[in-house]
Amino acid sequence: MIQQYIRKLVAYGRKVGLLEKEDEIYTINSLLELFELEELEEAGTDDIQEEELDVILGRMMDYAHEKGIMEEDSIVYRDLFDTKIMSKLVPRPSEVIRRFRELYAQDPVKATDYYYKLSQDTDYIRRYRIKKDQKWMADTSYGQLDITINLSKPEKDPKAIAAAKNAKQSGYPKCLLCVENEGYAGRVNHPARQNHRVIPIEIHGSQWGFQYSPYVYYNEHCIVFNSKHTPMKIEHDTFCKLFDFVKQFPHYFVGSNADLPIVGGSILSHDHFQGGHYEFAMARAGLDKSFTIQGFEDVEVGIVNWPMSVIRISCTDSDRLIALADVILEKWRGYTDESAFIFAQTEGEPHNTITPIARKRGEKYELDLVLRNNITTQEHPMGVFHPHAKLHHIKKENIGLIEVMGLAVLPARLKDEMDSLADALLAGKDIRADEVLEKHADWADEFLPKYSPESRDTKEKLMEILHKEIGHVFMHVLEDAGVYKRTEEGQKAFERFISSL
């Protein structure tokens, strides 16, 4: 059995362009060594039948576990081992970089198209898992928001969790974003990256890496990371780097998470940006009101029609945007407005920061500056400008860059919970009597009266309603995260800040 799947994997490599004809024997021998075999048997008729990559890898791992080559037959160990298998087909970093640069010289789009396809063909981006994610668009008063229930990150099994707890703690690589991940075999508490390749780029005179996210929450979801393990920091150089990247890849937007806990991303210890070839609802949103800033009359400034507090500035000259962004950042860092419960710092702890997103639109450069504040209170221990407890049944995690722009990344638990909730509502069951569904009861009581019995008399109709209502919950999540509320009083407070510039 293993013999035919070795042939099928090599055939897959040829088909997608990972291997040339001259690479076949070398790759077969590498795979024979991996599976502790000494020779390749004659091809049978089954060897010719094409199968999907995940099926091929699955059969190979079944064999490896049966023969004791793969230690455990669980998702963590299978992920480590199938990455080792795929590493036999992946070109060396220098080959990938050389090809990327050759294509970039022709057109940046050709270069990113090549690299994105490579990242999928090597199984670094696991297409068959990404397909499992539930995705839909939800109509709201702010436009169509992207909703996804993330099912592509596998749950760890108890054995792997125990093994990770008992494993020797290693500082190599220092984090998931470090360049040392390229080619790393991984361990039970760190993913394998033998099939991963990084493109080195220079932005604003410093060395950075360019790669794609293995979870691709949106089209060509890329990560741009500092080649040094250095903490996140929003400053003048951040704006310079964002626009330098946009100039090199004008078909991509790029943004940075904020640099403070609660309002920042999941990895604050390593300076990085996220970008991609996608237009989010926030980018599509127009302006509520325009302003002129003294000394920057050539720059268009406005408040974006968005649930969070966003200042958009645009100009044909990116240097002018950087100069104004410096002014806004410096002012916001030290800005306090007690009437709006905005405090620059309490007991020496800073609270104000910015989530910036840069893009090119036609001949103009654009920079969205999302005002953030991470103050906490007894009533809101997870953050005043964070999803409030009433919404935690759907979303309680931090609102990072991706959510800020209008894409909800929701926990996998919601798939089964919404399925069960639809069944319970259809059957007229008491939701409060169900310990899993009880947390959704108040929400259901709130939205159900809006729909006639006829509009929710099938499970299909109910699922459609639930998807729509989840979109509304996410809209309120973003409103909670906004430092200035979408009320007349809140918008006046927002305008006071802009007037102070």
Radius of gyration (C-alpha) of the chain in whole angstroms: 25
Half-sphere exposure in the Cβ direction for 499 (13 Å, CA): 7
In this prediction, residue 166 carries a pLDDT of 65
Summarize pLDDT for 341-394 with one digit per residue, the tens: 999 999 999 999 999 999 999 999 999 999 999 999 999 999 999 999 999 999
Helix, coil or strand: residue 396? coil
Distances from the Cα of 417 to the Cα of 14, 138, 393, 499, angstroms:
43, 19, 10, 47
In this prediction, residue 125 carries a pLDDT of 97
Q: Is the pLDDT of residue 164 over 80?
A: no
DSSP 185-242: --BTTB---TT---EEEEETTEEEEEEE-TT-SSTT-EEEEESS------SHHHHHHH
**Residue 288 DSSP label:** E
CB-based contact 364:314 (threshold 8 Å) = yes
Output 392-397 pairs: Cβ under 8 A, ≥24 positions apart.
392/439, 393/439, 393/440, 393/443, 394/443, 394/470, 394/473, 394/474, 394/477, 395/473, 395/474, 395/477
Band (pLDDT 50/70/90 cuts) for residue 481 is very high
Q: How many CB atoms lie within 10 A of CB 494?
A: 24
Average pLDDT over residues 158-165: 58
Band (pLDDT 50/70/90 cuts) for residue 45 is low
Average pLDDT over residues 67-83: 96
Q: Is the pLDDT of residue 167 over 70?
A: no
Residues near 35 by beta carbon (within 8 Å), at least 6 away in sequence: 2, 6, 60, 63, 64, 67, 69
Summarize pLDDT for 247-287 with one digit per residue, the tens: 999 999 999 999 999 998 778 999 999 999 999 999 999 99
Nearest to 224 by CA among 247, 199, 205: 199
Distances from the Cα of 69 to the Cα of 1, 124, 188, angstroms:
15, 22, 16
Band (pLDDT 50/70/90 cuts) for residue 161 is low
Q: Is the pLDDT of residue 162 over 70?
A: no
Average pLDDT over residues 13-33: 97
In this prediction, residue 298 carries a pLDDT of 98
- Provide the strand spans (E) within 78-217: 134-140, 143-149, 199-203, 206-212
Residue 432 falls in which region: left (phi positive, over 0), alpha (psi -120 to 50) or beta: alpha
Band (pLDDT 50/70/90 cuts) for residue 96 is very high
Distances from the Cα of 82 to the Cα of 6, 79, 250, angstroms:
13, 5, 35
- Provide the strand spans (E) within 404-466: 407-410
In this prediction, residue 158 carries a pLDDT of 58
Half-sphere exposure in the Cβ direction for 14 (13 Å, CA): 16
Helix, coil or strand: residue 274? strand
Q: Dihedral sign, CA of 171, 172, 175, 179?
A: positive
**Residue 386 DSSP label:** S
Half-sphere exposure in the Cβ direction for 82 (13 Å, CA): 24
CB-based contact 115:17 (threshold 8 Å) = no
Mean pLDDT over all residues of the chain? Answer: 95
Residues near 486 by beta carbon (within 8 Å), at least 6 away in sequence: 307, 479
In this prediction, residue 153 carries a pLDDT of 74
Q: Is the pLDDT of residue 62 over 90?
A: yes
Band (pLDDT 50/70/90 cuts) for residue 163 is low
In this prediction, residue 29 carries a pLDDT of 97
Q: Is the pLDDT of residue 127 over 60?
A: yes
Rounded Cα distance between 50 and 319, Å, is 54
Rounded Cα distance between 13 and 25, Å, is 12
Amino acid identity for residue 356 in this structure: P
Q: Is the pLDDT of residue 160 over 90?
A: no
Band (pLDDT 50/70/90 cuts) for residue 49 is confident
H or E stretch at 471: helix 459-481
Rounded Cα distance between 384 and 482, Å, is 10
In this prediction, residue 157 carries a pLDDT of 57
In this prediction, residue 47 carries a pLDDT of 62
Average pLDDT over residues 46-71: 92
**Residue 295 DSSP label:** T
- How much of the chain exceeds pLDDT 70, in percent? 96
In this prediction, residue 48 carries a pLDDT of 67
Average pLDDT over residues 284-301: 97
